[in-house]
Amino acid sequence: MEVLLAIMVGTLYASGIYMILRRSLVKLIIGIILLGNGANLLIFLLGRIAKGSPPIIPGDSKVFLEAYSDPLPQALILTAIVISFGLQSFAIVLVKRAHKVVKTDDLDEMNATDEYS
């Protein structure tokens, strides 16, 4: 399972970076979404995967008796997902506006602010 997830994370990062390096605005957004998901899965993976051992202390004891899965990574991922959802929605609207105003989808032609004047 870990190996599978690791390959998955690597694929997501690689394809995300590839997409960001393309010239199209839409592919830029897709790249950012893929990278964000890759990072979330990475947190999940690095929190150590333990199957079928919820972090619940039995009623008759005060401490954990056996190994349990760490609940914190899931809280972190949840936060990260919400944040990236907000950022991505903003990004999509921004790209739509930018496309409408600049009238191009090609990032190489969006260079008015970099030009020497």
Binding site for another protein (CB under 8 A): 20, 25, 28, 32, 35-36, 38-39, 42-43, 45-48, 70, 72-73, 76, 79-80, 83, 86-87, 90-91, 94-95, 97-98, 101-102, 107, 110-114, 116-117
Alpha-carbon distance of 81 to 64, in angstroms, equals 29
> Which of residues 60 and 101 has its CB atom nearest to another protein in the complex?
101
Work out how close the CB of 73 gets to another protein at its nearest, in angstroms, rounded to a whole number: 7
Alpha-carbon distance of 11 to 44, in angstroms, equals 16
Task: Please name every residue paired with 24 in a beta bridge, in sequence order, or none if there are none.
Answer: 106
> Which of residues 48 and 60 has its CB atom nearest to another protein in the complex?
48
Work out how close the CB of 92 gets to another protein at its nearest, in angstroms, rounded to a whole number: 11
How many beta carbons lie within 10 A of that of residue 35, not counting itself? 19
Alpha-carbon distance of 25 to 107, in angstroms, equals 6
